[in-house]
Amino acid sequence: MSVFTLSESPRYPIETVDIALGERGYPIRIGNGLIGEATSFDGVPKSALAMVVTNTTVAPLYAQPLIAALRKRHARVELIQLPDGEHHKDWATLNLIFDALLTHGADRKTVLYALGGGVVGDMTGFAAASYMRGVPFVQVPTTLLAQVDSSVGGKTGINHPRGKNMIGAFHQPLAVVADLDTLATLPERELRAGLAEIIKYGPIADAEFFGWMEEHLDALLAREAAALRYAVRRSCEIKAEVVAHDEREAGLRAILNYGHTFGHAIEAGLGFGTWLHGEAVACGMVMAADLSVRLGHLPDESAQRIARLIERAGLPIVGPRLGAEQYLALMRLDKKAEDGEIRFVVVDSLGHALLRGAPDAVVREVIARHGG
Ligand code: NAD
Ligand code: GLY
């Protein structure tokens, strides 16, 4: 396991971003050393039993300090270790969580803690949404991607072999505790995948943040603590605002899926786990930017800026050769599709996005240029 240094890593005060969802609202706490501190979990009800759900990669790194902190809030803390990987985000692995909950006598007050990346977070959240019709859970994200996106907003679920995140539920956590120190052990490829979801927020919601990313990409790749901290906080602020306006994706929230329509087709088409989620989204954003240009929404120069930033982040800008028919068939299953019509997030101008249909012929042009 490589351990990178978070360069110039002073202990900043904890920052909090609030998700304003009334009685389902919660804090996102961002800081250093949070996992091992009982106070990071203030506000989570004390209960007889807590279950830490993680995987075999993250458990040896972070389970012990978390369990020690949680023992101050819960009389008993049990650990569930799932197999690692996107290809395990399925029914069989979900059932391992239910088996363990039943084995340990979990009841409706048991709190689940999702310790890991987006895969662990999405599955634990779905288990919490459905076990005994709903139990509380806390997100403790340990990848950059999970800290800036998947741990926030309450989307939970698993993949179906034919489609990404096809089975799931909305279930908000009680809190998100993002410990920036965990990013020191993240493999380089995973760091870059996380950058994709950070880059996403610029074109859809904040042109200034896009400019900041252009300026600070090298600092983020070098894991400079101040840059990572700002990127995580700004991403969470943007996501918090979108989710507060549209928790269940009646409209606005769909913009968070920029790049995901093409991206999910890449993930499913290649088999889950072949490309990382962030890699597929990165390439999907380049394709969706090109589509935005072809539909007359976005100046070509802006699409080029998006592609350049993604390429500088070491992320793919050319898709796999799945063939246009497979791309189209997979995208027709996308959750945003209506009556078989695929709807794409198109960028209108840097910082603003819309949901639009597109003629198949134009989508084929995009695929011919970028995706085989
Ligand atoms: P991941 O959960 O597979 O984690 C990536 C890898 O890093 C795994 O091997 C994991 O074990 C390892 N890892 C985790 N933390 C580590 C650490 N600190 N040090 C070393 N290794 C560590 O992938 P991800 O990119 O975090 O999440 C992708 C998933 O998130 C996808 O399934 C995607 O669909 C989902 N997602 C969900 C939402 C949502 O709103 N719910 C949003 C975006 C993405
Ligand atoms: N990642 C998309 C969403 O949370 O809506």
- Per-residue model confidence (pLDDT) at position 6: 61
247 Cβ below 6 A of ligand 2: no
Nearest to 232 by CA among 197, 272, 264: 197
For the segment 129-134, the average pLDDT, to the nearest whole number, is 98
Contact 191, 161 (CB under 8 A): no
pLDDT in tens, 292-324: 999 999 999 999 999 999 999 999 999 999 999
Residues with catalytic roles: 133, 155, 197, 239, 249, 253, 257, 260, 264, 277
Residue ranges per structural domain of the chain: 15-185, 188-370
Q: How far is the CA of 58 from the centre of ligand 1 (A)?
A: 11
Measured distance CA(233)–CA(178) in Å, rounded:
10
Contact 84, 74 (CB under 8 A): no
Cβ neighbours of residue 165 under 8 Å, at least 6 residues apart? Answer: 122, 155, 157, 158, 159, 264, 335
**Ligand 2 atom nearest 155 alpha carbon:** 4
Pair of tokens at residue 130: 């459905």
Measured distance CA(154)–CA(137) in Å, rounded:
10
- Per-residue model confidence (pLDDT) at position 372: 60
Nearest to 205 by CA among 155, 230, 232, 240: 240
Measured distance CA(49)–CA(236) in Å, rounded:
29
Residue 189 corresponds to which amino acid?
A: R
pLDDT in tens, 141-183: 999 999 999 999 999 999 998 889 999 999 999 999 999 999 9
pLDDT of 359 > 80? The answer is yes
pLDDT in tens, 48-59: 999 999 999 999
Q: What is the Cα gyration radius of the chain?
A: 20
Q: How far is the CA of 298 from the centre of ligand 2 (A)?
A: 23
CATH topology classification for 15-185: Rossmann fold (3.40.50)
For the segment 254-271, the average pLDDT, to the nearest whole number, is 96
Alpha helices by DSSP H, 104-135 = 118-130
165 Cβ below 6 A of ligand 1: yes
**Ligand 1 atom nearest 143 alpha carbon:** 15
pLDDT band of residue 230 (cuts 50, 70, 90) is: very high
Same fold? 15-185, 188-370: no
Return the sign of the alpha-carbon dihedral for residues 59, 65, 69, 75.
positive
Other CB atoms within 10 A of residue 318 CB: 13
pLDDT in tens, 178-227: 999 999 999 999 999 999 999 999 999 999 999 999 999 999 999 999 99
Residue 351 corresponds to which amino acid?
A: G
**Residue 35, strand partner residues:** none
Pair of tokens at residue 218: 């090298």
pLDDT band of residue 33 (cuts 50, 70, 90) is: very high
Class of domain 188-370 as given by CATH: mainly alpha
pLDDT of 339 > 60? The answer is yes
- Per-residue model confidence (pLDDT) at position 1: 54
- Per-residue model confidence (pLDDT) at position 2: 58
